[in-house]
Structures are given as structure tokens and as C-alpha cells.
A and B are shown apart, each in its own frame.
Chain A
């Protein structure tokens, strides 16, 4: 086992131990008629506040790692994932796994589960997508994708126009109008890229191949370049889809966190007001 694998096993073992300890505590407290949901509720709130604090800590990159609440972001994320996963166990003990009743409780439970599940999804995405991105196309900054896309589009349009003018034939223009115009006009096949479906790319390349029969010799060279441009545009879409997914999930996770914090405080006030 390598160093990082050993470390991961360590985290899992400690997590399992803590989860078991929480289960035993719940059992003992319930058996001795203590208000278990009350204590687990407080524990859950502390955990959620700690989890949400990660968002603040991410902005304070200049704090010395030795300072409390310092530490680098990588260590914070390790704790975040650890506490985040454990929070589901505490949530289970807090609610007793009963379906919530009432508007506030239902909203709160939905917010918690939404935040939790978006976190787990984000974690999976951030472990899977980077290597896929590295494996295909050129590394490109997300913000620059539209600029590169429009460059490709201009190039392909100029190429087709020049070819038509030179040969006086419209085969390439027709091919462009039928199969490529739409493709080059903006981001395409985002969903397919997310699920690693290469069919649209293959189909376009196939169309290009079919078109070759109708072209003369000089036009072949132009078609070769167009084929390259199709692949480059498809790679750009691929990067847009995958880098976009890496950004988008946080736009779910973060607002849900804010909602969760607000409703949790409201829930706390209600509980204290009525007991």
C-alpha cells in the first residue's frame, strides 16, 4: 500500500470507529431516557457550522498554517469530507430516521440532504474529472474557451468560403451548411461529453469522410484541416462540459449551505421557544 492509500485507510478506520462510538452513545442515552435528539441536534449544528466555515477559510489563504483555523486548504478539505460524511450519521441519530413533519423540518431535512448529496457528488466529480481532462485536448483556461471557439469558427468559415471560390463548386459549402454550421455555432454535446459518449464526434467525422468522395484533390487538403478543426472544437466542448461540471456543482453546494444555516438557526429558535 502506498503512503496516500495508507492515509486514506487511516481516515476510514477512524471514521468507522467514531460512527460506532456515536451509535453506542445514542443507544446508551436513549436507554437512559435522555433527550437524545436534543444533544445530537446541537452536535449536528456544530458540525454544519464547521463545514460551512470551510467556505470562509478558503478566502483566508494568507493565514499562517500554524494558526488555529489556519492550516492549508488541502488539510481543511480532508477534515471537511471526514466531518461531512459523519454528519450524515449524526443526522440519522438526530432525526431517528423518521420522516420530517411540518414545513420547517421538511425544508431543513431537504436542505441538509441536498447539501450532503451535492457534496458527495462534487467529491466524486473532483476525483474523476481531472484525469479525464488531462487525457484529451489541450489544457485550456475555462474563461478562454469562447474565444478559442470563435477563432475555430472563423477559420472554418474562411476555409470553406475560400475553397468554394477557388474550385467554383459548392460541395464543401453544402457539407458545412448541413453538418457543421450548427456544430461550430456554440457549445454542443455537453451531456454526451459528461457521460463520455463519443458518438456525436464519430458521426461528424464520418460525415466528413463521406464528403471526401465529392471533392477534388486541392479540396482534400482543406477537408483534412476541417477534420482537424472538428476535433479541436469537440475537444473544446469536452473541456467546457467537464470544467463546467467542476464549477457548477459548487453553485449548488454553496447556496444550499447558506439555506441550511439559516433554516437550522430558525429551527433551533423554534425548538427552544416550544420546549
Chain B
């Protein structure tokens, strides 16, 4: 009999939000009393809240008080946050996007995006330090920023605030306003950098808390504002950027914006339970996946994924088979609605289920027919279908158990999974050596990982569509590189808090003790312990030749695969 592992499913409030940061400064009753005297909290109708989850409970467990000094960066454009901020008092400013002059990535603590020259590439052969994890600098690359505080409470601050205020377009956000709520609820990147202009007190609420404040408050004190803000900003941006809506007149876009419904499905309290569940096995999870569209039902809506993952299933005897999956940008339901418009009555061919947390848009059928399928002189009505190919994997292109494995283990959210075909791999480890050469002598992965059939998914960073590792990085050191979209860590801003390594469900981030150029362990003088940093695959961002592991594989066994691209998936796994 297989051994079973029993874990206690983590409870939502095992760790109040304030404990995450500093267990010694919890949210107190007097703080809550004070918050409840101001809008929007004093405008809320508490009767809708459950007894076990009162308004006070929510604030106590899902909120924390954050104090900032002048210059402190609160959130950075591109950060992955799962919390929203409410300004209790003080001066806070947001950078306003303006063509040509935005705060440079280095000032946000990010890795300078520079490729090595040919000579620097070759010089790696003799210049790579002999000591492991050797670093030459321990302060941010950009002298215009500095760090204060420790661990998760570290704040990155702008040294020359007046220069930022005069050099870039910024806008004050007055007390009493929310920011960051849309990216928290939708699990999308922050769209603007926000910093404190003077001392400021913010209430940070994690997304589950915000969702429940919106859900249970009978007066909709927050909901109305958030929904308006979503329609005004996020929805329009999504529609304008998605290829399906290109060329639509403003009038038609307006119809879409008026009728599209933004929804979130499933729970995603923290990636940590997922990590536990991954160890436990996913057998029981299928039933708990939220059903979004149901096979056999009349197609009422087209569903677009904004963030998260969904699986497509069809009924098979007494169970369900996975036949495909949706990642951000994918849509489901067009083909059924198009067929129905052509006179046939075609129900949904598959069910769509949210795998853990998912946010997306539902667009009602009449609107799809009117706006997207009806003739339009600027567009060809039929052109919509090729843009949204049904993400169902045809025939035997990928064996079903393999597909099931990739979906269950969430590998489908990889944009650069390291897939090793073990029937070709001669176990020479040239890939590991090449990786080490490209990273100052330190390999950034181990040739080891889950195996299905003859394919190994090695423990190298997947560069996920939804990078949970980026959630809550206090200095923004782990970030998506703008041009390539790769998830990278800036060595000069990583403070070694291990937040990202704990969040990564795939164990692809390793904490290492760092040494100076003489090979001596570097010790943090404030806490007297060796300094650690997070390390992981960066897809050889600064190398001229791209991923060294793939280039080094003489037997074509190792590939970096974008699994959100069904085409690539079929090509690699059908070999």
C-alpha cells in the first residue's frame, strides 16, 4: 500500500497578516476602533458579515498598519503584489506613466539589463571567481536608492526625493484613497510606482480580506469604487491589449466595458498550502476546483483568463478527462457561440475549471455576437476564431496522463520549463557545467526533478506566467525583466529574506551563503549571521547566446519550453 502523508490543511488565519511582517506588532483593538471611525469603514453595514468572520476579525487578521518615511518606495511598477493599500494619513505619490521619462529600473532596485560583450563572454573562462557565490558589491547598483530596516521590513528609499519629484511626472494620492487594489484582486502586476513623499501611514490589506470586505458589506462602501476603478482602468487596458479586440471602434469597446463581468474563482490564500498539497498529492483537488463553464450547457458567455490557470475537461464514464488548459490571455466559448450564431445549437464542449486562484472576464453571448462576430468594416467577423484557437489538445499529440501531470503539477504555467528527454540524455551534465560558466561558476539548477514517462521537468525556474515568487519581495529584487519577461533576481538588491524561495512551489530558488572576492563568507554586521541571497535560473539574460543549458546539450535532450504555447508543448512531448 502506498504510504500516505497527512498534513493539516493550513487555516486562513493561522498567520495574521501583521505577523508575516513582525510578530511583535500585531493589529490591536484600539487600532481597529480608530479605523472604524473613518470612511469607508464607518460606512459599512456589518450585518452581512458572518459571525465567524466579522468586520473586526477581517481587519485584525487580514490588515496591517504600515509606516513609511519620506522617500520610501511602497510598490514598484511591475511588482507582483497580493495586497491593497488604503491611505490613513500622510503624503503618498504615484508615478504617472509619461512617454520617455519613467523612473529607471535600476532606481527600483532592478538588475541592469545589459548583455555581455563578446570579449566579456569569453573572459568568463578565466575570470569566473574560484570561490562559490562570490559577490563584488553588497549595496544597490544605483546610488540614488538606499535600504533601511531589516528582513521583510526592509524599505528601499529614494535618496534624492526632490530630484525624483522634479524629474518625473508624479501625482499625489490623497488620504482616504485605495491603491494597488486591482492588481491584488486580479493577480496582475502593479501598474505604477508609489512612494511616500513625507511620513505616511497606510493600511495594507491582503487580497482575501479586501475581497471579503467587498463581498459582505451590504452598503458596498468599497465595492462600488473598486468596480468603477476596474472598469475605468484595468478592463479598458485588457480589452485594448488583447488581439481579439483589436480594431474595434470606441463605441463597441464601450458596449464591451459596460457588459463584461470581472470574476475571480477559487482560493489562493498563499502559495504555501499549494506547496504542501503538491507533496500530499492532488487526488482530492479536482472536486474542489471552481467550475466556471459547464460542459453541455448553453453557451451564455465567452470566458477570458486574466490571471491564473484553468483546465478544460470532458466527461468520461464516471470521471473527467483533462483535454487542455487556459493560461492568461486564452479564451473559451467562442467556437460554440460562433456555431450557434451560424444556426446550429452547440453547447459548451468542455467544462472550464479554475485551478487554484483565477481571475477573468465573462462576456455575454449577445455582446459577443453583436461586437465580435457581427460584420464590421474595420474587422472581418470570422477573423476572431483563428485568434482564439480552441486550446484543446488534439488527438494523441500529448498523451493524456502526461497532460494530466502537467496540469496537476501546474507546470503548464511555465514559460521556460526545463524539459529533459531522458531517452536522449546521456547524463553528461554539460548543461549544469554550462550553466555554472554562465553564472560566475555557480550552477543555477540541479539535473533532478519530477519525471513523467521519459520526460524530466528539472528543478530550474519555470519563469511562471503567474510568478508567486514575486509576491511580497520587500525590495523588488525579484522581478520580471521588462523586455524579455524573464523572472530574475537582482543580486545587489536581494536582502536574503527567503520570501521568494519559500513561495516558489517548485523549489527552483535556492538560498546561498555568499562570499566576498577573497572567498570569505560575508557576515551581516547587524545580525552577526552569514549573509544569504536567493539564486535561480535567469535564462542567461546577460549572455549573448541565450540559455546556456539548452545550447550545451549535444544530444538535443534539453529544451526550455513555453508550456502556455500548446504548439510547443505538442512539438516537445511528441518527440
| Interface residues in B540-567 (C-beta closer than 8 Å to A) | 540, 543-546, 548, 550-557
In whole Å, how far is B293's beta carbon from the nearest beta carbon of chain A? 36
Task: Indicate which residue in B125, B428, B548 contacts A246 across the interface (CB closer than 8 Å).
Answer: B428
B449: nearest chain-A partner, CB-CB: A139
Are B427 and A133 interface neighbours, CB within 8 A? yes
Q: Does B370 reach chain A (CB closer than 8 Å)?
A: no
Instruction: Tell whether, in the assembled complex, residue B428 and residue A73 are in contact, meaning their CB atoms are under 8 Å apart.
Output: no
B424 on the interface (CB 8 Å rule)? yes
Most B C-beta atoms less than 10 A away, residue of A77, A133, A139? A139
Complex: A67 Cα to B548 Cα, angstroms? 15
| A4-B575 CB under 8 A given contacts A58-B554, A61-B552 | yes
Bound CA span A131–B122, Å = 35
Interface SS majority for chain B = loop
Shortest distance from the beta carbon of A251 to any chain B beta carbon, whole Å: 12
Assembly CA distance A76 to B125 (angstroms): 20
Q: How far is the CA of A74 from the CA of B543 in the complex (A)?
A: 19
Give the distance in Å from the alpha carbon of A247 to the alpha carbon of B447 in the complex: 16
Considering the complex, give the chain A residue whose CB is closest to the CB of B548: A61
Docked-complex contact B422 and A65, CB < 8 angstroms = no
Q: Which residue of B lies closest to A73 (CB)?
A: B554
Task: Verify A62–B426 contact, CB threshold 8 A.
Answer: no
Shortest CB distance A161–B (Å): 25
**Shortest beta-carbon distance, B428 to chain A, in Å?**
7
Determine whether the beta carbon of B551 is less than 8 Å from that of A61: yes
Which residues of A lie under 8 Å from residue B424 when comparing CB positions?
A: 130
Mark the stretch among B31-39, B430-438, B471-479 that contacts chain A. Answer: B430-438
Scoring A residues 5 to 29 as 1 if CB is less than 8 Å from chain B, else 0, what string do you get?
0000000000000000000000000
Taken together as a complex, chains A and B put the C-alpha atoms of A189 and B427 apart, in Å, by 21
Most chain A beta carbons < 10 A, residue from B116, B548, B556: B556
Interface size on B, residues (CB 8 A): 37
B114 to chain A, nearest CB (A): 15
| Shortest Cβ distance from residue B122 to the other chain A in the assembled complex, whole angstroms | 7
Q: Is the CB of B556 within 8 A of A133?
A: no
Is B339 interfacial (CB 8 A cutoff)? no
Q: Does B423 interact with chain A (Cβ within 8 Å)?
A: yes
- In the complex, which residues of chain B have a beta carbon less than 8 angstroms from the beta carbon of A74? 553-556
Query: Is the CB of A118 closer than 8 A to any CB of chain B?
Result: no
Q: What is the minimal beta-carbon distance from A143 to any residue of chain B, in angstroms?
A: 9
CB contact under 8 A between A126 and B454, given known A62-B548, A73-B430, A134-B423: no
Tell me whether B426 and A139 are in contact (CB under 8 A): no
The verdict on A231 contacting chain B, using a C-beta distance below 8 Å, is no
A214-250 Cβ-contact flags toward B at 8 Å (1 or 0): 0000000000000000000000000000010011000
Task: Please state if B551 and A243 are interface contacts (CB–CB under 8 Å).
Answer: no
Asked if B555 and A126 make an inter-chain contact with CB atoms under 8 angstroms apart, the answer reads yes
A133: which B residues are within 8 A, CB to CB?
Answer: 422, 427
Beyond A74-B556, A76-B554, whether A126 also contacts B426 by CB under 8 A is: yes
Contacting residues, chain B, for A247 (C-beta < 8 A): 428
A76 to chain B, nearest CB (A): 7
- Cβ of A107 within 8 Å of any chain B Cβ, yes or no, is no
The distance in angstroms between the C-alpha atoms of A92 and B555, with both chains bound, is 29
Q: A246 and B422 in contact (CB under 8 A), knowing A59-B125, A60-B122, A134-B454?
A: no
Q: How far, in angstroms, from A131 to B125 measured CA to CA in the complex?
A: 33
Q: Find the A residue at minimum CB distance from B425.
A: A130
Query: Is the C-beta of A141 less than 8 angstroms from some C-beta in chain B?
Result: yes
Residue A70 CB within 8 A of the other chain? yes
Partner of A73, one of B422, B456, B552: B552
Q: A72-B551, A73-B552 are in contact. Are A142 and B438 (CB under 8 A)?
A: no
A72-B548 Cα distance, complex, nearest whole Å = 9
Q: Check A64 for interface membership: any CB of B closer than 8 A.
A: yes
Interface string of A45-63 (1 = CB under 8 A from B): 0000000000000111111
Of residues 420 through 461 on chain B, the ones whose CB sits less than 8 Å from some CB of chain A are: 422-428, 430, 434, 437-438, 447-448, 451, 454, 456
Q: Which residues of chain A have C-beta atoms less than 8 A from B551's C-beta? A: 61-62, 65, 72-73
| CA–CA, A70 and B543, complex, Å | 13
Q: Complex Cα distance A60/B540, Å?
A: 14
Shortest distance from the beta carbon of A74 to any chain B beta carbon, whole Å = 4
- Point out the residues of chain B lying under 8 angstroms from A131, CB to CB: 422-423, 454
Asked whether any CB of chain B lies closer than 8 Å to the CB of A43, the reply is no
Interface flags, B402-424, vs A, CB<8A=1, else 0: 00000000000000000000111
Contacts known (A134-B422, A139-B451); A65 close to B545, Cβ less than 8 A: yes
Chain A residues near B456 (CB-CB < 8 A)? 139
Taken together as a complex, chains A and B put the C-alpha atoms of A139 and B427 apart, in Å, by: 10
B396: min CB distance to chain A, Å: 14
Q: Is B448 a contact of A139 with CB atoms below 8 Å?
A: yes
Task: Report yes or no: A246 in contact with B554, Cβ–Cβ below 8 A.
Answer: no
Residues of A contacting B552 in the complex (Cβ-Cβ under 8 angstroms): 58, 61, 72-73
**Complex CA–CA separation, A4 to B124 (angstroms):** 35
Flag whether A129 is at the interface (Cβ < 8 A): yes
A63/B545 in contact, CB under 8 A = yes
Q: List 13 A-B contacts (CB under 8 A).
A: A58-B552, A61-B551, A62-B122, A62-B540, A62-B548, A63-B122, A65-B546, A72-B553, A126-B555, A130-B422, A130-B426, A130-B427, A246-B427
Supplied contacts A60-B122, A61-B437, A61-B551, 17 more A-B pairs, CB within 8 Å = A58-B554, A59-B125, A59-B437, A61-B545, A61-B552, A62-B122, A62-B544, A62-B545, A63-B122, A63-B544, A64-B545, A70-B545, A130-B557, A139-B448, A142-B427, A246-B428, A247-B428
The 6 A-B pairs of least Cβ separation, nearest first, read A61-B434, A73-B554, A64-B544, A74-B556, A134-B422, A61-B552
